[in-house]
Amino acid sequence: MYNMRLRIIKDMGSDRRSKFTLIELLVVIAIIAILAALLLPALSSAKETARGINCLSQQRQVLQGFIMYAGDYAGYVPGQVLYKVKWSPSNQWPWAVHFIRWQADPFGNNSSGPDYLNRTVVRCPYAPPYTPIVESSSGPVWKTYGVLNFTASSPTVNGVDVSLLRNTFWDGTDFAGYTWKFLQIPQPSQIPWLADTIAESSQEQVQSFYTDNTWSQTWGVITRHRNCANVAFVDGHARMLNSTALKDEAGILKHYKANLAKVSY
């Protein structure tokens, strides 16, 4: 009888310890869940910040490409578009073809093309949908960072009339387009040259952006990275700018939010 009582007491103690251990386990699980809920947003934020920094680094590389190009070509750089056939919309090539080594020569001269930039750096790697840069008059080579453009009615950026620095050319046969006197641009630290962009219709990156506050051109800068846009300036520096800074520091008077909502000043 005595042994039986001891066994019962022992078994009851064992049950109590099991229940206590289960409660402890539930408490630990609850703590882990709380910590995860607290940490996941921070981790997500850190990931988005890292993406923005990577994009910013690529823009700096592209600006160095423009600076090297200007050094090789008497201070000039290509503008946003080149026409292979004079002013033909179906035969346009954007600025990127002047900087990347071609796999298919767009100019018909059997050249391997320039080699100022790796084709992987001429667009934001996080702009969906990501498409490799290839040569095509209508394909992914257009989906790059945008370079500065302007309308005839609004040629001034941060007090500088940039229209005086862009030339329209035609070689008398086929090629036409734009060049810029890049090394002569005054206040280079104040003039935005390259930016995160989006085309409203395709919702993809596009080769140029406008700084004026009209929306006749349905593409422009976008605040893609945590409500900021990456912008590189003529002097070679690049910054992540929020909506206010785009206007006050870069002279960009219109942009898109990540949800394509329009902002103008």
Span 163-197, pLDDT tens digits: 888 887 666 556 667 889 999 999 999 999 999 99
Using a 10 angstrom Cβ sphere, with 0-12 exposed, 13-18 middle and 19 or more buried, the burial of residue 124 is buried
Percent of the chain with pLDDT over 70: 72
Contact 231, 221 (CB under 8 A): yes
Looking at every residue in the chain, the average pLDDT score rounds to 79
Could you tell me the residue ranges of all domains in the chain?
48-264
Task: Tell me the per-residue pLDDT of 64-113, one tens digit each, with 9 for 90 and over.
Answer: 999 999 999 899 998 887 766 554 555 667 788 788 776 555 555 545 56
Contact 135, 104 (CB under 8 A): yes
Residues in Cβ contact with 172 at an 8 Å cutoff, skipping those fewer than 6 apart: none
* Residue 251, pLDDT score: 93
Q: How far apart are CA 125 and CA 78, in angstroms?
A: 23
Dihedrals phi, psi of 105, to nearest 5 degrees: -70, 115
- Give the highest mean pLDDT range of 49-53, 78-82, 221-225: 221-225
